[in-house]
Each structure stands twice: as C-alpha cells, then as structure tokens.
Amino acid sequence: MILIKDVYVNGKRQDILIEGNKIKKIGEVKKEDIEDVEIIDGKKKIAIPGLINTHTHIPMTLFRGVADDLPLMEWLNNYIWPMEAKLNEKIVYWGTLLGCIEMIKSGTTTFNDMYFYLEGISKAVDESGMRAVLAYGMIDLFDEERREKELKNAEKYIKYINELNNSRIIPALGPHAPYTCSKELLMKVNELAKKYNVMIHIHMNETLDEIKTVKEKTGMEPFIYLNSFGFFDDVNVVAAHCVHLTEGEIRIIKEKNINVSHNPISNLKLASGIAPIPKLLKEGINVTLGTDGCGSNNNLNLFEEIKITAILHKGVNLNPTVIKAETAFNFATKNGAKALNIKAGEIKEGYLADIVLINMDKPFLYPKENIMSHLVYAFNGFVDDVIIDGKIVMREGKILTVDEEKVYEKAEEMYEILRS
Ligand SMILES: CSC[C@H]1O[C@@H](n2cnc3c(O)ncnc32)[C@H](O)[C@@H]1O
Ligand SMILES: [Zn+2]
C-alpha cells in the first residue's frame, strides 16, 4: 500500500491511501492502522490526477527538430515519411522510452498513440510503467494490396496486445486519415472495432488542403463522407485535430459522440489553423487534449497544451471567458479519461491510482492561493512524483522504472541511424 500524507487534494489537505492499482481512501488515514505501507510526505505538495494525452506518435521523439517551419504535406512527404521508412522495432523502442520519460516528468500518466512497430512500443510502455492505448497506424493510399496488409497488421497487433494481458496497455485501431485511407479500409475498421471491442483513433480535418482533396474525390466534407458509410456507428472514436469543421460536421460529431483531441501547438506550428473549441463545447462535445508527435510540437508537455488552450481561444474570440482555467485542465484529465474509457482523470475512491504530486515550493507557484490558476497559467510542467496504476514510477524527480542515462545515450544512437 502507499499512503500520501497531508497532501492538498480536491480543495483541502488530506491523506490518500492506495491499495493495489486503485485509490482506496481519501480523508484521514492513520499509518498505524495499516501494515506494509510506503509513506509519501505530501505536506509541501498538491496531488492532481495524472494527465491524459489523447493524440501522440510517441516514437517521434527521435524526429524532434528535424524538419521545422513547414506546412503539413511538405513536412510529411519530404521529411517525415522518408525518415520513417528507416524505422524498426529497436529504434521505435528507444524513441518510445524517451517519450515515456518526458511524459512522466511532465505529469502525463496515459497516452493515446498511433504508430508503427507496436512490439517495440508495447515493450517500452510496459517497462516505463505508463498507461497507453496503442493503435497500429494504417495507410493504404487507396491500394488494395496495401489495404490487406495494413488490416492484417492491425488485427495482428490487437491480438498481440491482448495476449500481453497487461491492463495498462490497451489495443485500438488507427486508420491514419480520410486522405490516406480508402473507404474499404475504413469500413473494415468499423467492423474490426466492433469485433474486438476497441476504439478508433484517426486524424480528421487537420488542414484545408486535405479537406479539399477529400471533397474533390467524394463530393463531401470528411466527417460527412465517413458518416455516409457508417464509419462512426456503434464505435468509440477519438478524432485528432478537427481544425476546420462545417456546421453539418459538428452535428455529426455531436450525434455520434465523437471525442475530439485538440492539438493546438501542432496546429499552430504547422500553420494548419485553430480548432473551433468554444463552438464544440457549446454543443456538449467531449474535448480532450493531445500533443501530436514531437516532429510537430516539439515536446510532450501537456501542461503547455493546457495553457495554450486556455489563452488561445480567448484571443481568437476576443472573449476571456470562453475557456476558463478549470475547463482547460479538465480537457487533459476527466475528458481524456472519458474518451479512452478508463476510470481515471480524477482523484476519487475506487478510481485508478494515476496520481501526480507537485511540490509547491517553486517561485512561480507563490502566493499559494489559486492553485487551479497556477496549474494552468503559471506552472512549467516539471512535476515531482508520479504514481501510475498504484506504482511509484517517479520519486522526487527521479525515474524509478528505467535507466534515464542509458535512454538518452540510445536516443542519440538511434537518431544517427535515422539521419544517415
Ligand atoms: C500511420 S502512423 C501515424 C503517421 O502519422 C504521421 N503524422 C504525425 N503527425 C501528423 C499530423 O499532424 N498529421 C498527419 N499525420 C501525422 C506520422 O508521421 C506517421 O506517419
Ligand atoms: Zn498526429
């Protein structure tokens, strides 16, 4: 058992008792009453639910800084995809470990990923102690032979992850986007999602260019097109980006309970645009936050997304009340958990013990009055202790699950292979 004593949580100082992978009690807990307990002194700390990143390509930590200041299509076609052709399980494994360290240090406990070489990713997630939803990213480019291969791979990885029997690693399906995946592939994805009871993770409406391509091909906007053949029926979908949406598309997102992953930093950096988040909120749509990969962000610090979300939409709408601090924070916690269907995102009895502690003795966190405001507008994202699934993975800034130095060394080595 783990007992966090005198920590500021849910508005007051109290104790948190963790048993197994769950929060057993919040309130006053006497250590004498419990046997075999590890005590964490929470006096100087606050406890928040671990953050949930709903759109990443985690091994892309190794692509950090390789192609900046470009629009999406040029970035993908001329830089990222040629480099991705050199990937293998080993490179992806080390890139993922680097990403896990970065996320743990910045308070993220769960991520929703779409990428290749899922054996390497799963191994790294397992070792790091993180929680993840992993989808093999499918791209068929409208070619039948490629489609069959991609679908086989996707199914193979769902089975592979299920056989790992690790409750922290959840399989999903990841068709890349409507401009890279055929209707036949997308229809099959809906079928497989129901067959294996897994969610779907897809890029939607990121740029005007891609929407134009889909419209020229199908005569419809992407959400209308996918909806026309039942892609969103009876499945749980996380749609990343959703930057440019028509009223009709917003109606579909609402009707089909599609979860939106807002990635403001990636969208700003690739000059894709700004998603109409206040409009989506008015419709009661579940908005969550993602970083996207490190090629387009260039880090995995979800606290940055929280702050940007809270301030960006104020500026764009000339209205400081459109997204309040707590709303942005909930995007990265409660709403993320809802999207991924996990009992996390809040510190509550019976919930998964995914908890982050922050030492408040930091100059930018004084005076200690409005904690939520500080977390959203003042905090730099460097947290102190992280518990995932009831296990301490970082203590006082030190990662306990993996050898940090070795990961940094290997990351440099893997990068040399990619750029050669
Ligand atoms: C098929 S696995 C994921 C695939 O997506 C690429 N990617 C990374 N960031 C983005 C983005 O913002 N939009 C579209 N595609 C993106 C990644 O490099 C992989 O090839
Ligand atoms: Zn992406």
Q: Domain residues of the chain, as ranges?
A: 2-49+348-404, 51-340
Q: Are the beta carbons of 112 and 407 closer than 8 angstroms?
A: no
Cα(202) to centroid(ligand 2), Å: 8
| Residue 125: predicted pLDDT | 98
Closest residue to atom 8 of ligand 1, CA basis:
293
Q: Which CATH architecture has domain 2-49+348-404?
A: Roll (2.30)
Over the stretch 207-233, which tens digit does the pLDDT of each residue have?
A: 999 999 999 999 999 999 999 999 999
Do residues 292 and 97 make contact, with C-beta atoms less than 8 angstroms apart? no
The ligand that comes nearest to the alpha carbon of residue 294 is: 1
Give the separation between CA 193 and CA 171, rounded to whole angstroms: 10
Among the bound ligands, the one closest to the CA of 82: 1
Return the structure tokens found at 124.
Answer: 């790294």
Q: Cβ atoms within 10 A of the Cβ of 289, count?
A: 29
φ, ψ dihedrals at 72, nearest 5°: -50, -55
Distance 103 CA to ligand 1 centre (A): 19
Count of C-beta atoms within a 10 Å radius of residue 328: 26
Ligand 1 centre distance from Cα of residue 115 (Å): 8
Closest ligand 1 atom to residue 180 Cα is 1
| Burial of 416 per CB tally in 10 Å (0-12, 13-18, 19+) | exposed
Does the fold of domain 51-340 match that of domain 2-49+348-404? no
Ligand 1 pocket at CB < 6 A: 57, 72, 76, 80, 84, 114-116, 137, 139, 176, 203, 206, 266, 292-293, 296
Mutate to test the pocket of ligand 1, among 79, 203, 241, 261 (most ligand atoms within 8 A of CB): 203
| ipTM of this complex prediction, to 2 decimal places | 0.98
Amino acid identity at 302 = L
- Expressed in angstroms and rounded, the spacing between residue 18 Cα and the centre of ligand 2 is 35
> What distance in angstroms lies between residue 265's CA and the mean position of ligand 1's atoms?
15
Contact 1, 18 (CB under 8 A): yes
Q: Considering only CA atoms, which residue is closest to atom 16 of ligand 1?
A: 76
Residues of the chain predicted below pLDDT 50: none
- Residue list, annotated binding site for substrate: 84, 146, 176, 206, 292
Kind of pairing between the strands at 259-262 and 355-359: unpaired
| 334, 338, 344, 348 alpha-carbon torsion, rounded to 10° | 60
User: Nearest bound ligand to CA 179?
Assistant: 1
pTM higher than 0.90: yes
Peptide bond into 175 cis (omega under 30): no
Asked if residue 309 lies in contact with residue 331, where contact means CB atoms within 8 angstroms, the answer is yes
Spatial neighbors of 191 by CB under 8 A, at least 6 apart, are: none
Range 51-340 classified under CATH 3.30.960.10: no
By alpha-carbon position, which residue is closest to atom 5 of ligand 1?
176
Residue nearest to atom 20 of ligand 1 (CA): 81
Q: What is the DSSP letter of 79?
A: I
Alpha-carbon gap, residue 311 to 331, rounded angstroms: 14
Residue that has been written with the tokens 């293998």 in this structure = 88
Residue-wise pLDDT tens digits, 37-79: 999 999 999 999 999 999 999 999 999 999 999 999 999 999 9
Residue to mutate, 80, 149, 205, ligand 1, most ligand atoms under 8 Å from C-beta: 80
For position 31, what pLDDT does the model report? 87
d(CA 59, CA 65): 14
**Closest ligand to the CA of 137:** 1
